[in-house]
């Protein structure tokens, strides 16, 4: 019997400080057993339990894309016992990973569609995975127009800045980077909150348009009426939830919203689904 609690051993291969407050680091992991990488076959939108031996596990969205081989990447915010310990770990340290867990963004439904991606703060990790996946030469033709609205408090708080600038230069993706405010005179992108920029830049919904929204609750709250005005129906607004988790496989009982488990039935839900469940997230 496959033991779903047993993590695959991994080694920290690289650590990148992502944000100016140094609270966000991206960890690149490699599997100790090459066969485990094959077993850890994932899709954009899924998450994993990072297992820091002797400390515990944390559920984190997968920031690398299935099209990137040889490693997996996670951007971790320093908040609690495990994430703080992980932030102090070094390249070469051994730990574990369980997964992939949960569902993914609805890639089959999204084929042939216009997609607008709206992200805020550090909830951009599985969105990074999605963008890399969609821009891959073997996948780009499967999707129509791609718009990305991504905002953070300041330029220094934006994740994956080098990649954002690369994507800005491309003509097969429409980037709308924004910050709440900046004193940088050379800032050449948008200034304003994500809902405001969405109102200005997001394309109105055609019958084949989907919106993927990930961000802090306050951003989601004010973005929804904007999307309503733009004509996005609730079955085409896709969100990814977070809740406290332990098992990640729908057994330990804490992450449910109504009868659905965020870990197993989610983390990705349509707004239409969420309208029918208690708001316990």
Partner 1 sequence: MKYIKIDKKKWASGIDALTKSYRLYGPVKEEAFHNFKELEKGMLPDLTCLNTRLSPKSLIYPQSEALLEYSLDGSQKDHHIMKEIDKDYSPRAVIGIRPCDAKAFVLVGKNFDTPEYKDPYWLLSYEATTLVGQACESPCSTCFCTTAGCGPYHEEGLDILLVDGDDHYLAKALSEKGEKLLSAAGWDESVQAAEAESQIESKKQAAEKKIASIVHTNKLRDIDTTKLYDAPFWEDVSFSCINCGTCTYVCPTCWCFDIQDENRGKSGMRMRNWDSCMFPLFTVHGSGHNPRGTKLHRVRQRFMHKLKYYVDKYDSGIQCVGCGRCVRLCPVNIDIRRICDLMNSFNASEDACAV
- Using CB under 8 A as the criterion, which residues of the chain lie in contact with partner 1 when the complex forms? 1-7, 9, 32, 51, 53-58, 77, 79-80, 83, 93-96, 242-244, 246-247, 249-256, 258-259, 264, 276-281
Plot region of 14 (φ>0 → left; ψ -120 to 50 → alpha; else → beta): beta
Least Å distance between CB 94 and partner 1?
A: 4
Q: 10 Å Cβ neighbour count for 39? A: 12
Shortest distance, CB of residue 260 to partner 1, whole angstroms? 9
State in angstroms the smallest separation of the CB of 257 from partner 1: 8
9 versus 192: smaller Cβ distance to partner 1: 9
Q: Least distance to partner 1 from the beta carbon of 36, Å? A: 12
CB of 269 to partner 1, least distance (A): 14
Q: What is the closest distance, in whole angstroms, from the C-beta atom of residue 280 to partner 1 in the complex?
A: 4
Residue closer to partner 1 by CB (options 70, 80) is: 80
Pick 47 or 189: Cβ nearer partner 1: 47
101 or 132: CB nearest partner 1:
101
Radius of gyration of the chain (CA): 18
Nearer to partner 1, 200 or 276 (CB): 276
Question: For every residue of the chain, which 3-state class applies, written as one string?
Answer: CCCCCCCEEEEEEEEEECCCCCCEEEEEEEECCHHHHHHCCCCCCCEEEEEECCCEEEEEECCCCCCCCCCEEEEEECCCHHHHHHHCCCCCCEEEEEEEECCCCCHHHHCCCEEEEEEECCCCHHHHHHHHHHHCCCCHHHCCCEEEEEEECCHHHCCCHHHHHHHHHCCCCEEEEEECCCCCCCCCCEECCHHHHHHHHCCCCCCCEEEEEECCHHHHHHHHHHHHHHCCCHHHEEEECCCCCCCCCCCCCCCEECCEECCCCCCEEEHHHHHCCCCCC
**Cβ nearer to partner 1, comparing 118 with 274:** 274
Q: How far is the CB of 256 from partner 1 (least distance, A)?
A: 7
Judged by CB, which is closer to partner 1: 52, or 134? 52
């Amino acid at each position: 019997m496959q033991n779903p609690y047993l993590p695959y051993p991994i080694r920290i291969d690289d650590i990148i400080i992502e944000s100016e407050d140094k609270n966000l680091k991206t960890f690149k992991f490699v599997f100790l057993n090459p066969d485990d990488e094959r077993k850890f076959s994932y899709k954009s939108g899924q998450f994993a339990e990072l297992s820091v031996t002797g400390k515990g596990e944390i559920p984190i969205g997968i920031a690398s894309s299935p099209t990137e081989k040889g490693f997996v990447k996670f951007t971790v915010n320093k908040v609690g016992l495990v994430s703080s310990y992980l932030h102090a770990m070094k390249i070469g340290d051994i730990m574990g990973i369980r997964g992939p867990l949960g569902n993914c963004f609805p890639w089959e439904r999204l084929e042939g569609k216009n997609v607008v991606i709206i992200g805020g703060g550090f909830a951009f990790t599985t969105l990074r995975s999605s963008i890399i996946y969609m821009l891959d030469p073997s996948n780009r033709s499967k999707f129509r127009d791609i718009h990305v609205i991504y905002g953070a408090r300041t330029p220094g708080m934006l994740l994956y800045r080098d990649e954002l600038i690369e994507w800005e230069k491309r003509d097969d993706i429409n980037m709308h980077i924004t910050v709440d405010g900046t004193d940088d005179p050379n800032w050449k992108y948008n200034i304003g909150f994500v809902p405001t920029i969405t109102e200005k830049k997001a394309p109105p919904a055609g019958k084949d348009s989907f919106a993927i929204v990930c961000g802090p609750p306050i951003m989601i709250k004010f973005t929804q009426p904007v999307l309503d005005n733009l004509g996005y129906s609730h079955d085409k607004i896709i969100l990814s939830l977070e809740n406290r988790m332990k098992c990640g496989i729908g057994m330990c009982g804490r992450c449910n919203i109504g009868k659905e488990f965020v870990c197993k039935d989610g983390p990705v839900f349509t707004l239409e689904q969420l309208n029918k469940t208690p708001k316990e997230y």
